[in-house]
Amino acid sequence: MQLHFETLTDKILFVEIKSRRDLGNAFMRIQEHHESPAFKGQIFTFKDYWAWWALHGPGELYWKYWKAFNLPAQAFKPFQDGKFKPHSRIEQVLLDVLKPWVDDGFYVIATSVGRDHHDIRHELAHALYATNSSYRRKVRCVLEELIPRCRRQIEAYLEKTGGYHPSTWDDEVHAYILAGRQELREEGYIMVTPFRSVSKALERIFNKYCPEGAEKLIKKIK
């Protein structure tokens, strides 16, 4: 598995894995233990999760469906502590490489080579929401302006994917409005007009707090 990584702030680490399949297989159990609606906080095998995904997922292979990941340092701890052994080879490589940053409390965002710049923005929005209290506070104030019917539309999409625990929905609603509107429109979950003012407000907040290193990264792949 080929990895590239760089620090975007003193709290955020960007990881790029060459293969999208490797990306999904490396992060799957870590991500789903952290926020899956069915597996959050549980110990499970690849076989356990694949069986659930086949019944409740969106009808596509996991690694093809999820293009990027975001995780706080504490999400890696159960794996570092051996609760999920045996690790797959690819999980072990990831854990070994990321250990210094995870031990220092970094928030990790990850994509594969060939990702869209919207993927970076979406995952960085999550990282800023998690690591910057001022950013998070301003985002929450903006979300209070969102029409309840519109919010329910996005939450219906989050529930359909089978990948988001309800405890993450505030964060996910903000990230999808900021950098996932096209996906929501294509899936028939939102109309553009009711989201316009909220979207513009979130854009202003994101642009204010986006770190210089991340701005260069986003511009590089547009």
Q: How many CA atoms lie within 13 A of 34 on its CB side?
A: 17
pLDDT (average), residues 116-125: 86
Give tens-digit pLDDT for 174-197: 998 888 777 777 666 556 566 788
Q: Judge whether residue 171 has pLDDT over 60.
A: yes
- Give the separation between CA 6 and CA 15, rounded to whole angstroms: 7
Q: For the chain, what are the domain ranges? A: 3-115, 118-220
Using alpha carbons, select from 122, 42, 120, 123 the residue that is nearest to residue 83: 42
Closest CA to 126 of 2, 30, 45, 11: 11
Q: Which residue has the higher pLDDT, 125 or 58?
A: 125
60 CB-side CA count, 13 A? 12
Report pTM. 0.87
